[in-house]
Amino acid sequence: MTAALVAAEWARVFTLGKARGRIKALFEADGARAARMSRQACGMLYDFSKTSLTEQSLAALLELAEAAGVASARAALFAGEKINTSEGRAVLHPALRAGPRAVIELDGADVMPKVRATLSRMAAFAREVRAGAITDVVNIGIGGSDLGPMMASEALSPYCDGPRLHFVSNIDGAHIHDVLKGLSAATTLVLVASKTFTTIETMTNAATARRWMVARGADPAAQFVAISSALETAAAFGIPAERVFGFEDWVGGRYSVWGPVGLSLMLGVGPENFAAFLEGAREMDTHFAQAALADNLPVLHALVGLWHHQVCGYKTRAILPYDQRLARLPAYLQQLEMESNGKRVSRTGAALSFGSGPVVWGAPGTNGQHAFFQLLHQGTQIVPAEFLIAMRGHEPELAHHHALLVANCLAQSQALMLGRDHAEAHRVFEGDRPSVTLAYDRLTPKMLGRIVALYEHRVFVEGVILGINSFDQFGVELGKELATALQPVLAGAEADLDSSTAQLVALYRAHQP
Ligand code: F6P
């Protein structure tokens, strides 16, 4: 890979981007477009035909991917190389879901025996809890220590037959107050999930939950679990070693649902369904590792993303699951994509000469249709849409609902693309608004694993082509530092503040008793 070659490939892609035609015309010119611009793998159909990509621009993007070294970066990821260069760490979340015979070496040692041992401990613990008197599990964590299990447990609610799951993340006392309010301390298990075990939100909520439990005569030593990479810090919190589930620093927070951070999910759906979730992700790992770039779903999804944001200049992307149980997927993907690829410098620290990651947002359909779809259809910004739709639901008795759901999903991608002419200006739909559709059989644990791993690898490929490190997140530090510095100021300490912050501090102080 040379920088000059990559720049030349980018230039070619940009030229093709400027000459792009209307999507509708591409369909009119090629009766086989849908088949040509779709791929099937891992039980999914990925249809990217309703975009302005042509075979020529797709070929150019694939050449860009090759020039940028996607194949060798992919090999380095799975080989445990320290590709998180700014932090000197490997990126081995695929090890958490690797098969029983996998050997994955890091610094000359196989990491898998420890991964398997932790998974077995989690399964044994989950079986014990699911068979016991615990009625409610409260996962206290934030960001990657919250969004994954929260999103997945809602997605897999038809499989949740264990204790009720609750998630507390926000430092706002309203969150923990409202969750604990209905629970019995005697039958509640609290999981404190934090990779670092220093995150202020999580540690504050954990201390509040402990006080709540003690005040009601229950024993936190018996009903608290710690999930962390910082084993000593977790032990210092007073949780016995047999209730501490550790993971290594080569698992990024936003990639951690596959290991101990997924314990709440395992408690809800059981170890077998959790294993199926891992198996689905493993299938996607194998596909990503082995399929040719032109047939590789994560690679194609990444290229579509780059085409829309960097080349066409569309500022955001909408995640639109026509699958109510994926309601939290947009929030999960916001962290995955924006914390990974929301960067302003390259791996080497040089300022990027083009945009990095787009704003990611979304909500389930059909609800979004009655809220923000007006802008998608007739607004002045073009927002590429990513539809997710299951061919079957989990409620056969409500199949007529599902048929309506599918009809709406397909209709929206059609309407976005086709638009409508009308004599009256307010009723004109310009059309030519791109979308991709990810269609799958049913949202089973295995399918959810495949979908999440697809997005993880998409983010990775985009990062490689953009030349950025997708695995650090220094951009979250400044706000944390300033919040720490403001605590004594709210309590009355003097500080040299800008006039806006000073005004807000004064208002806060004036409202205290
Ligand atoms: O503030 C960002 C972040 O570091 C995320 O990357 C992470 O998922 C989250 O905070 C929670 O961190 P921890 O698991 O260490 O509590």
Q: Give pLDDT tens digits for 220-249.
A: 999 999 999 998 898 899 899 999 999 999
Same structural domain, 214 and 316: no
Same structural domain, 420 and 347: yes
Q: Is 194 in the pocket of ligand 1 (CB under 6 A)?
A: yes
Same structural domain, 119 and 235: yes
Amino acid in the structure at residue 66: E
Q: Residue 101 has what pLDDT?
A: 93
Residue 474 lies in a domain: no
Q: Is 196 in the pocket of ligand 1 (CB under 6 A)?
A: yes
Q: Residue 383 has what pLDDT?
A: 98
Domain hosting residue 155, numbered range: 93-274
Nearest-CA residue for ligand 1 atom 10 is 143
In this model, does residue 103 exceed pLDDT 80? Answer: yes
Ligand 1 midpoint to CA 200 (Å) = 10
Number of domains in the chain: 3
- Tell me the H-state helices in 136-261: 147-155, 173-180, 200-215, 220-223, 231-236
* Distance from C-alpha of 211 to C-alpha of 217, rounded to nearest angstrom: 10
Same structural domain, 314 and 458: yes
Same structural domain, 105 and 200: yes
Same structural domain, 52 and 185: no
Same structural domain, 322 and 181: no
Q: Is 118 in the pocket of ligand 1 (CB under 6 A)?
A: no
Q: In sequence order, which residues have a C-beta less than 8 Å from that of residue 478 and are 6 or more positions away?
A: none
Q: Is 253 in the pocket of ligand 1 (CB under 6 A)?
A: yes
In this model, does residue 21 exceed pLDDT 70? Answer: yes
Residue the block writes with tokens 């150019």: 60
pLDDT digits (tens, 9 = 90+) for 390-401: 999 999 999 999
Residue 333 structure tokens: 């993907």
Whether 384 and 435 have beta carbons less than 8 Å apart is answered as yes
> Ligand 1 pocket check: which of 472, 473, 474 to mutate, most ligand atoms within 8 Å of Cβ?
473
In this model, does residue 416 exceed pLDDT 90? Answer: yes
Q: Residue 354 has what pLDDT?
A: 84
Using pLDDT thresholds of 50, 70 and 90, give the confidence band for residue 99: confident
Same structural domain, 444 and 495: no
Mean pLDDT of all residues in 450-465: 98
Residues annotated catalytic, as ranges: 339, 370, 480
* Distance from C-alpha of 357 to C-alpha of 317, rounded to nearest angstrom: 10
Whether 339 and 463 have beta carbons less than 8 Å apart is answered as no
- pTM of the full structure: 0.97
In this model, does residue 206 exceed pLDDT 90? Answer: yes
* Distance from C-alpha of 469 to C-alpha of 484, rounded to nearest angstrom: 27
Widest pairwise Cα distance in the chain: 73
Instruction: For residue 144, give the ligand 1 atom closest to its CA.
Output: 8
* Distance from C-alpha of 496 to C-alpha of 489, rounded to nearest angstrom: 10
Q: Is 142 in the pocket of ligand 1 (CB under 6 A)?
A: yes
Same structural domain, 428 and 376: yes
Residue 76 lies in a domain: no
* Distance from C-alpha of 287 to C-alpha of 300, rounded to nearest angstrom: 12
* Distance from C-alpha of 125 to C-alpha of 130, rounded to nearest angstrom: 9
Residue 88 lies in a domain: no
- Phi, psi (degrees; rounded to nearest 5) at 432: 60, 30
Ligand 1 midpoint to CA 479 (Å) = 13
Q: What is the DSSP letter of 186?
A: G
Q: Is 228 in the pocket of ligand 1 (CB under 6 A)?
A: no
Whether 344 and 49 have beta carbons less than 8 Å apart is answered as no
Question: Taking the CA of residue 47 as centre, how many other CA atoms within 13 Å lie in the half-sphere pointing to its CB?
Answer: 20
Ligand 1 midpoint to CA 250 (Å) = 14
In this model, does residue 1 exceed pLDDT 80? Answer: no
Residue 73 lies in a domain: no
Q: Residue 2 has what pLDDT?
A: 83
Residue 60 structure tokens: 């150019």
**What's CA 55's distance to the chain center, in Å?**
29
